[in-house]
A = this chain, B = another copy of it.
Amino acid sequence: MLKDFEKSTPEDKSKLNDQIKALRAHLVAQQQRIREGKLPILVLIEGWSAAGKGSLIKELISEMDPRFYSVVSPAIQPESEARYPFLYPFAKAIPENGQVVFLDSGWMESAVRKKLRLEITQDEYKRRIRMINEFERQLRDGGYLVLKIFLHIGKQEQHQRLESLTSNPDTDWRVTKDDLWQHQEYAQFMKAYGDFMDKTQEAVPWQVLDGQRGKTAVRDALKLLVNKTDKALEKGRYIGEPFEEKFPLLSMPKLKDVDLSPCIPEEDYKKELKKLQARLADLHNKIYRKKIPVILCYEGWDAAGKGGNIRRVAYPLDPRGVDVHPIASPEPHELNRQYLWRFWTRLPRSGHICIFDRTWYGRVMVERLEGFCTEKDWQRAYNEINEFERQLTDWGAVLLKFWIHIDSDTQLARFTDRQNTPEKQWKITDEDWRNREKWPQYEVAVDEMIQKTSTKNAPWYIIESNDKKYARLKTLKIIIKALEKACDESFARQF
């Protein structure tokens, strides 16, 4: 969709200025409505080096109140982000409800430049295109207004601008080797940007603006922002429809058909536990060296024994390389963003292990049953979660999901024990009893969840936990097997 640049005729300057003034006033008046309407707006600005991305953003925000927007430049984020999935810095940067985030270069460069530099394979490039489309669609479906602008200039214009920057000692540093390389390979880049844009229009269309006429670009960008915002505010936050995507799913049993009788004698347990923990400690060294990220997800009935299970897994690990994230109800700043945001921001660095004590599956369990989201939201979530998890395993993560399972009688016995034991009383609340009453509804939701999200790359494991010791050993064995497989298969990763 990107064409050779044709010089447009300059517009009447004073008319342009008037238009910009009027649009800015409109934007300022909109700010409060954006907040009240809880509309999150993400404006991605991409474009050629020296096309004036920074200046454009400057002009867009010049009259805005800093309480309503922020500018994020992921390009200057620390190198270490190379140890995270490539969408990580952008996922981290998404706005809160009622806020505008201007993103100065984003996921386009992480695909295009890396491809041209041969830092990623063609396959990886294609995967990134897919992930970007998923990411944009998920934001849109979650009620985000996403705008994507490409600031276009011709080769000759770029030449002049780079020359002018490099000839001034105070601005020379702004021109990087990468910029000069882009200029030399202008034609190549043109083709690559065009290809990228063609392939990433599924959820959010691109807008190409004329970077050679700065004021015209400002006017057009303001117009786009102001009009799209008006539309979004008028019709209320968009909520995406659920849709079918055919993930290859594993066949899983219903919870009621799971045999919960497995157990293990005390002395066997102790011996076995020690052996497995020692093995896991070894593997931790290996995955650290090979820079494999590991994500362990725990869900399960209250009092099923998640906590004790997690402790047995975490104990042999070097505490510097493992994080346990207990997931409680979201804080306000988390609630005000897309529901996966608080998990994106907690992902492990490559080579590290993280354990989620409760996970993003809250969306299709508690949020579904308590009405914290709409039916469309949780219906859509199965697919969104499958996509999210595929992004993680494509990144190279080992992702294991455990449903720690007990029957209702066992839960009652454990609740009663907690209630009657003073030092355990804090572990049992009225809410636990209320949730227990909803066991049948939860069972329906959990069954559906396990059916719909047991993908080959991120399977669910149902862990029989009427005997907690048996459950711990089974979990450890699954983790060990998965890590052994990953260590055997993988070369050491660069990051």
Asked if A357 contacts B66 (CB within 8 A), the reply is yes
* Interface bin, chain A: 35 or more
**Which positions 282-321 of chain A face chain B at CB distance < 8 Å?**
282, 285-286, 288-289, 307, 310-311, 314-315, 317-320
**Closest approach, in angstroms, between the C-beta of A489 and any C-beta of chain B?**
17
**Which positions 265-282 of chain A face chain B at CB distance < 8 Å?**
282
B315, B328, B331: the one contacting A62 at CB < 8 Å is B315
Asked if B66 contacts A310 (CB within 8 A), the reply is yes
Taken residue by residue from 93 to 119, chain A's Cβ proximity to chain B (1 for < 8 Å, 0 otherwise) reads as 000000000101000000000000000
Asked if B320 contacts A289 (CB within 8 A), the reply is no
Stretch in contact with the other chain, from A69-77, A130-138, A192-200, A391-399: A69-77
**Closest approach, in angstroms, between the C-beta of A358 and any C-beta of chain B?**
11
A224 interface contact, C-beta 8 A: no
- Inter-chain CA distance A67–B355, complex, in Å, is 12
Closest B residue, CB atoms, query A315? B62
A333 interface contact, C-beta 8 A: yes
B285, B311, B325, B355: the one contacting A170 at CB < 8 Å is B285
A426 interface contact, C-beta 8 A: yes
- Inter-chain CA distance A207–B307, complex, in Å, is 31
- A interface secondary structure, majority: helix
Q: A289-B173, A326-B66, A332-B331 are in contact. Are A104 and B54 (CB under 8 A)?
A: no
A180 interface contact, C-beta 8 A: no
Asked if B170 contacts A286 (CB within 8 A), the reply is yes
- On chain B, the residues within 8 Å of A324 by CB distance are 66, 70
Contacts beyond the supplied A61-B314, A65-B307: 18 A-B pairs with Cβ under 8 Å: A58-B317, A62-B311, A66-B357, A67-B328, A67-B357, A71-B322, A71-B323, A73-B320, A78-B78, A78-B79, A78-B80, A79-B80, A80-B80, A173-B288, A173-B289, A174-B285, A331-B332, A332-B332
Listed in ascending order, the chain A residues whose CB lies under 8 Å from chain B are 29, 32, 54, 57-58, 61-63, 65-67, 70-71, 73, 76, 78-80, 102, 104, 170-171, 173-174, 282, 285-286, 288-289, 307, 310-311, 314-315, 317-320, 322-326, 328, 331-333, 355, 357, 423, 426
